[in-house]
């Protein structure tokens, strides 16, 4: 057992962490999903964890980044980027330099674009597989990770992926541990210079606060608590849908357009 453990090198894990934003007060904080990603990394056996953030350093972002350090880390790698930069090239080059086997990130950022595309664009650039919505990493053996992916309604799917890979976590992963003030204060933000590529696409956008989206009411006519519970726990019934195969993009778009009309999303 011992010699084997010796032979097996530590698993290099990089967790991409972003500056979160509290939904009520808008204060900077450690982002919930990213913190869950850090927690996931900390649950891995023999992992050498690097925290990585690409962005600008100011008072707010520093306190948020120190929130991750407070989970028990001595350093955090800060890839310095101006505010309007596209961080993907910088992150990709930083990752290809440090060569982690597993990269963990949250599903989407709590502020900024928050498109959730970063892991995919990063994976495309690095040529790595990406797995989304992880609940846990069960084991890593011989460069293959066994992952548990969270599906709706508490379902889980076991997947195997060859490393290196990028995985993302959402609210299904276990909650992050408390961030302690002492280690957060002591931790070091290790700044690294990186090429800044301005995000040209976003400079042309206009940004406005999001409107609250309407939520479809699920009307349950239930006479008893049992019925209500069944309705709440029932799987979505896919009775009305249709599967389109071998259709042209136009036909597909047509079908989607028709459905949106029917559902009242487009008027």
Interface contacts to another protein, rule CB under 8 A: 22, 24-25, 27, 29, 70-72, 177-183, 185-186
Return the number of the residue (118 or 176) whose C-beta is nearest another protein: 176
Tell me the CA distances in angstroms from 137 to 36, 44, 61, 238, 263, one per residue in order.
Answer: 12, 7, 29, 30, 38
Q: Which is nearer to another protein, 34 or 199 (CB)?
A: 34
**Distance separating alpha carbons of residues 144 and 163, to the nearest angstrom:** 6
User: Nearer Cβ to another protein, position 210 or 223?
Assistant: 210
Q: Which of 69, 60, 32 is nearest to 174 (CA)?
A: 32
Residue 39 or residue 199: which is nearer to another protein going by CB? Answer: 39
For the CB of residue 89, give the shortest distance to another protein in the complex, in Å.
32
- For residue 34, the SS3 value is helix
Output the six-digit token pair for 199: 């995000």
Minimum CB separation of residue 73 from another protein in Å reads 12
Q: How far is the CB of 13 from another protein (least distance, A)?
A: 20
Q: How far apart are CA 156 and CA 136, in angstroms?
A: 10
Tokens 């800044």 found at: 196
Integer Cα distance of 29 and 65 in angstroms: 8
Smallest separation, CB 14 to another protein (Å): 22
Tell me how far, at minimum, the Cβ of 225 lies from another protein, in Å.
22
- Identity of the residue, 173 or 194, whose beta carbon is nearer to another protein in the bound complex: 173
């Amino acid at each position: 057992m011992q010699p084997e453990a010796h032979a097996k090198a530590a698993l290099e894990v990089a967790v991409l962490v972003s500056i979160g934003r509290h939904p009520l007060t808008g204060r900077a904080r450690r982002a919930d999903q990213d913190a869950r990603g850090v927690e996931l990394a900390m649950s891995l056996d023999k992992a050498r964890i690097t925290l990585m953030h690409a962005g600008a350093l100011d008072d707010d972002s520093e306190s948020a980044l120190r929130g991750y350090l407070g989970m028990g880390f001595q350093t955090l790698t800060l890839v310095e980027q101006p505010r309007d930069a596209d961080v993907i090239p910088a992150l990709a080059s930083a990752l290809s330099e440090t060569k982690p086997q597993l990269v963990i990130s949250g599903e989407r950022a709590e502020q900024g674009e928050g498109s959730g595309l970063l892991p995919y664009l990063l994976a495309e650039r690095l040529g790595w597989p990406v797995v989304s919505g992880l609940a846990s990493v069960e084991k890593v053996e011989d460069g293959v990770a066994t992952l548990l992916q969270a599906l709706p309604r508490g379902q889980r799917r076991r997947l195997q992926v060859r490393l290196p890979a990028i995985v993302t976590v959402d609210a299904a992963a276990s909650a992050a541990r408390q961030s302690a003030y002492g280690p957060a204060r002591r931790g070091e933000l290790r700044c690294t210079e990186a090429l800044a590529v301005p995000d040209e696409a976003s400079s042309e956008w206009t940004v406005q606060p999001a409107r609250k989206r309407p939520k479809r009411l699920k009307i349950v006519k239930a006479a008893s608590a049992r019925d209500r519970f069944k309705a709440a726990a029932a799987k979505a019934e896919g009775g009305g849908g249709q599967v389109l195969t071998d259709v042209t993009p136009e036909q597909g778009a047509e079908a989607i357009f028709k459905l949106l009309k029917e559902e009242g999303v487009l008027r």
